[in-house]
Structure 1
Amino acid sequence: MKKLILFLILPLFVGCSSTKILKFTKKPDDIVKTTALTNFLKDNKNPKVVLRVPQNAYTVTESEKNEAYEGENQDYLYNAIENQLLSSGFIVRDRQLFNQIVENEDNNIDYKQLKDKSDTELIIELIKIDPSILYETNKYYDNKNNEKVDKYKKRRRYGASIEFKIVMISTNEFAGVYKFNYTPCVEGCVISTSYKDQIYERNKKKGEKGYEGVEKNILEDFVKNATRQLVDEMRK
């Protein structure tokens, strides 16, 4: 009798654990550049560059604000960018020293003087890193890649973006803006709907909050990849 009961209820548990896959369409990158920059890099394979980082370049998430965020050190991201520029053959100048030169001379220094004093040819300005771009959908796919619609539930994941601006110092020429996007689950993320996970969700501690942005290691990998893309696009 026990075996018969187990046989009868087993399909119920199997039905509750059917595979569902979440997918988002890759958000396209936004690139605007000039031929002057491309031509400059053809003649200068190892350009002298500096990474400029404004104070508001990193977008603070709501959870960081609620935790009395006081400008948590994001140097690991800026260092990752500079390391990728170095590995691509760029000569990277010290950004703090560059800022001191800019702030000197009562802010009257012109671009020719700036080039001579800093021995720098290109400014790569980090306009913005946003680690908390929300993606939302009520669609999912089964294990045969058939699109389905969930009428009762929307699922969310966080993506990110990074934006650079390029200035050619010698001519004071605005040479391009490059925005790269990280879209989550492009290749598919399995959504767990098993009975075991449903029980787990019910037993979660009250008040527990999810992470309101892309996780640190994913964000760092995205920034590295975006910097490689930046160099490739600048040289095209």
Structure 2
Amino acid sequence: MPEQQSLGRATSGVVGAIRFAFGALTAVALGVQAYHSASEGRSLANFFSYFTILSNCSMTVVLLVGGVLGMAGRRGVPDLLRGAVTLYMAITGIVYAVALAQYEALGTIPWVNDVVHRLMPVVIFIDWLAVPPRRPVRWTQALWWLAFPLLYLPYTLIRGPIVDWYPYPFLDPREKGYGHVVISSLVITLTFLGVGVLLVWAGNLFRERRVVQMAHADKG
């Protein structure tokens, strides 16, 4: 048993170091892009109004805090918080691949674009599966994950006419009208729900497998 506990602490330290490294990478990417945007005279308020940036910021905090706690041998951030940022980053990756990759990212540094849109959505999803929730995630709990995107939509639509700027073409009513925005929002909402269901199912499935493996290890 002491050997297993030592192995568990060592594994927690390794996972913590990996999380911290990816969190630091994303923090650097966001910082470099924010500085680059500001130096070119672009609004930082607009920069931090992208769902992508807000999702990456929240994920960065979770990874850095979780990394430090893991390396210290302590319990990491709550799994529901991990699940939330995993959902937001998954949607970031999916929406970028499906709807935004075709648009030229004006002023975005290419390697930063790759980090926030391509690399980190995959990394955080793997993290969710590799270190599944300690307790089963209930569907009612996971519904809280939708709070942020549901608040982001009215924020964007209210702020847009005031500053005459929208972060994404599918949320911009100036050319195709609000009907297009409504349809796009419904599609994205359904995508949130679908991906959220997948994350809950996968997290609980991998948790059950981990429990079975630990039970077999204890018997051995």
Task: Pick the TM interval, shorter chain.
Answer: under 0.3
Bigger share in strand: 1
Bigger share in helix: 2
Which structure has more relative contact order (CA 8 Å, sep 6+)? It is 1
TM-score, with length taken from structure 1 = 0.26
TM-score, with length taken from structure 2 = 0.27
